[in-house]
Amino acid sequence: MKSFKTLKEDLIQNRWRILIGLGALLIVDVLQLLIPRVIKHAIDDLTAGEISSDHLLLYGLQILILAVGIGGFRYVWRYLLLGASRRMEKSLRDRFVRHLQTLSPSYFSRTKVGDLMAHALNDIESVRMAMALGLVFIVDTIILGILTLFFMVYIHPMLTLYAVLPMPLITVITLFFSRTIHDRYEALQKSFARLTERVRESIAGIRVVKAYVQEEVEREKLSLLSQEYVKKNVGVTRIWGMFFPLLLFLSNLSMAIVLYLGGKLTILQSISTGDFVAFMSYLGMLAWPMMALGWAINMIQRGAASMERINRIFNESPEISDTSEAVYSGPLRGRIEIKGLTVSSGNGEVPLLEDIHLDIREGEKVVIVGRTGSGKTVLCQLLARMMESPEGSIFFDGIEIHRIPLKVLREAIGYVPQDTFLFSDTVRENIAFGKPEASREEVEAAARVAQIYDEMAQFPSGMDTVIGEKGITLSGGQRQRVTIARAVLMNPPIFILDDALSSVDIQTEERILEGLEKFLKGKTSLLITHRIAPLRRADRIIVLEKGRIAEMGNHASLLERGGIYANLYREREMEEELERESR
């Protein structure tokens, strides 16, 4: 049960619903136990021949009143207890998502989406079932079991002793099966996570699958995982299938003992016929707690296995977070200083960046170039704290980056990464993602700066056109321009574009750069590019080579130097010329 300590606060918040619900459950159990007493008196009166039709009708009305009470209070406990479990489910899922949002990007690079989906759906549902029906069954087992035994002892103590003789075996069986059910269900949940991830990947990559005619291969992979999932399910069912019949057998064994011994006592008139019928009714009621115990153990073990998996995620700490020194409230103006920045991948290889020294003035336009793997993207991620940098190496407006709260830092940076991501929503909502309160005019103005408005206006629903998952209905260049518009709308003092124009044609790139020219006036901008056009517009160009600054200067001075930049420029100039000719 220690797995459920995570839910302590939720239990406290819902304590009155739970307590009142359990009170209603107690009343239901008591009312159920009164019905055999009414039947006992009716049978005894019938046996003695001392009952009239009016008296018999009175017994019937008593049972009817008890039945109405049972139905009413059963509604109360179901509404309160099951409702509380739904509220706890929502709270747990909200907390789960909030915690995921605090984790660093590196966590998601090593964790499968299918696993997280299984946690957010299947595991949390299992926890809810444990907190709802599992709790009800356990409490019902205790309350109904104790009260039933009390009424049975009241009728005949010795007969009760014989009736409960098989019951200690229930404890032994429960302890024996409990651990096995827990372990097998945890394995089942892991299998479900693998199956979910496989289905997600197959659907997300359906175009690639079709292009390479690999439908049969994908079906085979999915079939193997489905077979594994079925096998794990059968393993759980096999154990559960043995557990339940054993409990039922012990219940029927008690019934056989009572039928024989209780029948003899009735013949010998040690107990009345009504007492015998009532005792058999109570024994039938006692069978429910015995069986409910099995259901409860199964649900709680499943819930505990799921809660353990969720707790492992809750125990994950973000690699990037605000420290106690992060007290600067801004705003940031845009000066960036980098002092001796060295970043390693941590596996003993060549550093990603080595001994970087930069002083970028407020409002300066900087272009970063270099071959693939030279460290350009790493530098951008470090500035936006998507990756962690060493203490004392990066400063904004003279303030060390770790002293700036993440929210303040990232709101001051319009970061457009290499990999564009759009939500399955309208174009307008995708642009307004970073500023949901933006007006219609502001969104459209940002779209015009990014040179995407005119194209979107031609769609049937214009800017309100719903795009597919990850913007699949748009071209690569259109997706890039929507993400640029998203950053433009935020109007930050610092603007970082990580190769964000790679998918647009040269003419469109020129128009975007012209639109950005006015927007970026007075703003600090860093642009990673493999194109020629941005180079001539830069105040300064930084050339990275194998993680180090190899050259630095403006376009003309670097060309005159005839070094790495001049070679890169000539190569790209030839490529763009061929691109124009091919058009």
Q: What is the pLDDT of residue 66?
A: 92
Q: What is the pLDDT of residue 103?
A: 85
User: What mean pLDDT comes out for the span 443-469?
Assistant: 85
Is 33 within the bounds of a domain? Answer: no
Cβ atoms of residues 338 and 498 within 8 Å: no
134 with 147, same domain: the answer is yes
124 with 173, same domain: the answer is yes
What is the DSSP pairing of strand 540-545 with strand 548-553? Answer: antiparallel
E-only strand ranges, 410-536 = 413-416, 494-498, 524-528
Is 49 within the bounds of a domain? Answer: no
On average, the pLDDT of the chain sits at 83
**C-alpha–C-alpha distance, residues 469 and 487, integer Å:** 20
Q: What is the pLDDT of residue 79?
A: 92
Name 83's bridge partners.
none
269 with 359, same domain: the answer is no
Structure tokens at 539: 């105040």
pLDDT at 175 over 70: no
Q: What is the domain count for the chain?
A: 3
Cβ atoms of residues 274 and 42 within 8 Å: yes
pLDDT band at 171 (very low <50, low <70, confident <90, very high): low
pLDDT at 348 over 60: no
Is 21 within the bounds of a domain? Answer: no
pLDDT band at 393 (very low <50, low <70, confident <90, very high): very high
DSSP per position, 17-66: HHHHHHHHHHHHHHHHHHHHHHHHHHHHHHHHT---HHHHHHHHHHHHHH
Half-sphere exposure for 263 (CA within 13 Å, toward CB): 6
Indicate which CATH number applies to the domain containing 427: 3.40.50.300
Q: What is the pLDDT of residue 182?
A: 67
| 215-267 vs 168-204: helix crossing angle, rounded to 10 | 160
pLDDT tens digits along 3-26: 778 888 888 888 899 899 989 988
Which range marks the domain in which residue 444 is found?
A: 421-490
pLDDT tens digits along 222-281: 888 888 888 888 888 887 777 777 777 877 787 788 888 888 887 877 888 888 888 888
265 with 380, same domain: the answer is no
Amino acid letter for position 209 = V
192 with 309, same domain: the answer is yes
242 with 216, same domain: the answer is yes
Indicate which CATH number applies to the domain containing 307: 1.20.1560.10
- Average the pLDDT over each of 84-93, 166-175, 454-463 and give the range with the smallest value: 166-175
Q: Which of 437, 465, 490 is the last residue of a domain?
A: 490
Q: What is the pLDDT of residue 301?
A: 78
- Average the pLDDT over each of 61-75, 93-107, 168-182, 228-242 and give the range with the smallest value: 168-182
Is 135 within the bounds of a domain? Answer: yes
Q: Which of 463, 490, 517 is the last residue of a domain?
A: 490
User: What mean pLDDT comes out for the span 339-356?
Assistant: 80
User: What mean pLDDT comes out for the span 284-294?
Assistant: 71
**C-alpha–C-alpha distance, residues 518 and 382, integer Å:** 27
Q: What is the pLDDT of residue 291?
A: 65
192 with 99, same domain: the answer is yes
Name 394's bridge partners.
338
Cis peptide bond prior to 331, omega within 30° of 0 = yes
C-alpha distances (whole Å) from 230 to each of 60, 149, 195, 235, 278 are 50, 41, 11, 9, 45
Is 255 within the bounds of a domain? Answer: yes
474 with 396, same domain: the answer is no
pLDDT band at 68 (very low <50, low <70, confident <90, very high): very high
**C-alpha–C-alpha distance, residues 569 and 557, integer Å:** 13
393 with 425, same domain: the answer is no
273 with 125, same domain: the answer is yes
Spell out the residues 6+ positions from residue 325 whose beta carbon is closer than 8 angstroms to its own: 402, 403
Is 36 within the bounds of a domain? Answer: no
**C-alpha–C-alpha distance, residues 243 and 297, integer Å:** 10
* Closest to 427 in 3D by CA, of 413, 446, 408: 446
Does residue 212 or residue 258 have the better pLDDT?
258
Cβ atoms of residues 68 and 284 within 8 Å: no
Residue for token pair 């993602």: 433
User: What mean pLDDT comes out for the span 328-335?
Assistant: 84
Amino acid letter for position 314 = F
Q: Which of 465, 490, 515 is the last residue of a domain?
A: 490
145 with 247, same domain: the answer is yes
Q: What is the pLDDT of residue 303?
A: 83
Nearest-5° Cα angle at 190, 304 to 201: 140
**C-alpha–C-alpha distance, residues 377 and 497, integer Å:** 10
pLDDT at 294 over 70: no
Q: Would you say the pTM of this structure is higher than 0.85? A: no
Spell out the residues 6+ positions from residue 252 whose beta carbon is closer than 8 angstroms to its own: none
Does residue 197 or residue 228 have the better pLDDT?
228
pLDDT band at 1 (very low <50, low <70, confident <90, very high): low
Is 100 within the bounds of a domain? Answer: yes
**C-alpha–C-alpha distance, residues 398 and 46, integer Å:** 97
430 with 406, same domain: the answer is no
Is 356 within the bounds of a domain? Answer: yes
Structure tokens at 315: 């125990």
